[in-house]
Structure formats: C-alpha cells, structure tokens
Chains A and B, each alone.
Chain A
C-alpha cells in the first residue's frame, strides 16, 4: 500500500476548465519527490487536494489506504507536515516559541517528552534561537520561512510537503535547509518539494513529477 494514491484526479475551480485533468500517481512513505510545472498549472492546488483542504471533483486521493474525503484536516496534519508557500498563512501564534510548541500543546499524537530540547535544536538549526520570545510578526520574510520550516520539521510527521521552500532564503539558510533535507533522507522520511529550481530538485529528490493540464509525467 502506497502512502499516497492519487487515482484519476480531476479538479477545477470553475465549471468550464479543468485545472487538473485525470491524473494518477503513487507516492511511497520514504520517497523523495519533486513537483514542477509552469505558473498556474495547479501545483499548489494539487497539494491542497492531497492535504484535504480542497475536495476532488472527480477521482480519489488515498492517504495510507484511507480516502482523504473521510479524514479530518487534523488527522492529515498528524501524518503529513506542510510548509506553506506564504509563511504568513502558516504562522498563527503570537511568539516564535509558541509557534514551535503549538503541536505539542494541542496535538494528540506527539510525545511530550523532550519538547524543549527538540524545539531548541530546530531553532538553533535555523538560526532562530535569538528570536525565541519575539513576535512572529516582527520577523523578516526569510525568518518567517525558516520558522515555518522549523515548526514542521520539529514535529514527528511521516511525510513532509514543502511548497517552494527556497523562496526568501539566503545562501547560508539554503545550506541549512539542504542539511535538513539530507537528515530527513538519512532518517528515511519522505518528502515532496514544489520548486521551479530544477538544479535544487535533482540534488535532493529521487523523482521529479511534471504537472500539466493534460496530466503528470516523471521527468
């Protein structure tokens, strides 16, 4: 059984044109996938469908064999971590520390042991420890992007989806992201990266999926 099974998926925002037309593919739990495609081809929409934020018009999406229509967003969130393209949409807590500890406080599956050391580790890794008690609104775009990444990576999820994670990162922070991706690979954790940077993708993913209106293909 694959981690994700996308079966004959079709989606459109309006009745006239299908943005995503009859696509099927599988993703394994420890697979590292890149997703590419031109602007507006539906990459973020596909991810929203995979997370259950949007519902397919036709076709089905299965997460660990269960139809995503029947799974709550919270249950999807326990298994899949998602780094939003716009970090402002992801950061909802007043301070950096609260953002990092949110899943431990309100989530049900995460072990509560070693919370502080785990959070501190990721704050150090993403050079955010000095902002520990700062408001999330005071951070720059790059810092917000790093915090969004750190808060997802610190959670014990099975699979991570990153929507253009390199946007707003400088060379140094990009290296930190790359280090994290490598450590995820070492931990045998799967991820899917949406990016326009083919060079970056070829280094860190096993397969690249190209999304087009006519369907998907591996490149």
Chain B
C-alpha cells in the first residue's frame, strides 16, 4: 500500500473545499461530490461509519437546506398557498446545493482526519506554517474531547446533586447549562495553561527551529495524486 504524505492530503482538501465554495452550478457540485467520495475511497476512509458518527450534523444541514429553500424566491412555484410562494424551483435548487456543498466539505475534512494528527502538524510545519501555530492547532484538536469530558463530568455532578434535568423547565435548564458551561471552559483553559507550561519546561519555543524524528518526503504517488485532483477540479470548474 502506498503511504500518502500528509501534505498531499492537506493540498487536496484545500483544492476540494475551495472548489466547493467557488462552484455555483448544481451539476458541477454533484461531480465534485463524486470526486471527493472517490478520493475518500482512495484513502480508505469508512464513509458509512463516518456518516453515522456525524448523524446530528446532517440533521442540522437538512434544517439549513430547508430554511434556505423556503427563503429563496425565484423560478416556478412548486408549493404555494394562494398567491403566497412557499417553495420555488430556485429555492429547492439552493437547498440541494447547500446539502451537496456541506457534504463535500465534510467528506474532504475526513481526508485530513484519516491522517494521524501529529503527521498533519508535521505536514503543516513542512508547508511553512510556524511550528508554534501548528502545535496550537494540535492542542486545540486535543482539547475538544477534553472540553467535552469536562462538561460531561459537570453534568454528572449536577445530577448527583439532585437536579432533575429532564423535569426542570426549559428556561431554567438553559440558565443551568450556561451556569455550568463557564467553569467547564475555565477549567479546560487552566488545563491548557498547565500543558503549555510543561511544554515550555521541556524547551518548547526555546529555539527558532525544531528538529523532528519524523521526516516527511513526497514521492511520485503524491505528485500524481495532486495532479489528478487538480486536473479533475479544473475540468469540473471550467468544462461542466
């Protein structure tokens, strides 16, 4: 199996997501989605499992598409009450475009997610990003689950303190969540400070450059993959 350099994955993701934002035509977006899925398959990403994990996000996208469809006017009326337009052909097209565009961005993000986080960081450094910022990215990725864990612990503590989250009124529940969110965020930030302190104690930022045991090297397969992706996107943008 050919090992793809993380820089290749980063470049492909930048190309695909930029194209997803630029392209307005629905037909071209469908081709781009098809191409993204092909690349996901090439990088052996389990698409079905990933889709299941991101289930809640899809619900959000559908709501977004629905809102977009209802609030975009123009074209022929598909659904209407009296003289009032509810859904038009342009609205529907706009809603479908949103879903396809979001799918492309999510699938392309999965390409980066398929590489180990540390490799992505090394890739970013090799591409010229200052290592302080690259490590900041790494830490923020690591901190998302920590923040989630911190919040989950608070919820358990709240329940063990006798608060019935399912019974209290919605507004009170909302105030309760904001109430406990702030200490959770502060605790996560304090933890981040401890980590940055321990990193600096081990010489982080003491020198302009950093040595690394992981040496990245682009091979022929990397260049071919980037070339293929660029060519495909060029065709989709200008010829479809």
Chain A residues within 8 Å of B, Cβ to Cβ: 51, 53, 72-78, 82, 84, 88-94, 102-103, 106-110, 136-137, 151, 155
Q: Does B63 contact A (CB under 8 A)?
A: no
Q: How far is the CA of A73 from the CA of B166 in the complex (A)?
A: 11
Count class of interface residues, chain B: 20 to 34
Given contacts A92-B184, A94-B182, A137-B187, contact A102 B156 (CB under 8 A): no
Interface 9-residue window, one of B51-59, B67-75, B157-165, B225-233: B157-165
Which residues on A sit within 8 Å (CB–CB) of B184?
A: 92
Which residues on A sit within 8 Å (CB–CB) of B159?
A: 72-74, 77
Given contacts A84-B157, A106-B168, A137-B186, contact A78 B179 (CB under 8 A): no
Chain B residues within 8 Å of A, Cβ to Cβ: 153-154, 156-168, 172, 176, 179-180, 182-184, 186-187, 190
Knowing that A51-B160, A137-B190 touch, tell me 8 more A-B residue pairs with CB under 8 angstroms: A72-B166, A74-B160, A74-B165, A77-B163, A92-B154, A103-B161, A151-B161, A155-B161
Q: How far is the CA of A90 from the CA of B153 in the complex (A)?
A: 8
Q: How far is the CA of A197 from the CA of B88 in the complex (A)?
A: 74
* Contact residue among B157, B164, B183 (Cβ-Cβ distance under 8 Å from A137): B183
Given contacts A84-B157, A137-B187, A137-B190, contact A92 B180 (CB under 8 A): yes
Q: How far is the CA of A94 from the CA of B160 in the complex (A)?
A: 18
Determine how close the nearest CB of chain B comes to the CB of A118; give it in whole angstroms.
15
Which residues on A sit within 8 Å (CB–CB) of B161?
A: 77, 102-103, 106-107, 151, 155
Do A92 and B158 touch (CB < 8 A)?
A: yes
Do A106 and B162 touch (CB < 8 A)?
A: yes
Which residues on B sit within 8 Å (CB–CB) of A89?
A: 153-154, 156-157
A-B CB contact pairs (8 Å), 21 listed:
A72-B159, A73-B159, A77-B162, A78-B162, A88-B187, A89-B156, A92-B183, A94-B182, A102-B158, A102-B163, A103-B162, A103-B163, A106-B161, A106-B168, A106-B172, A107-B161, A108-B167, A137-B183, A137-B186, A137-B190, A151-B161
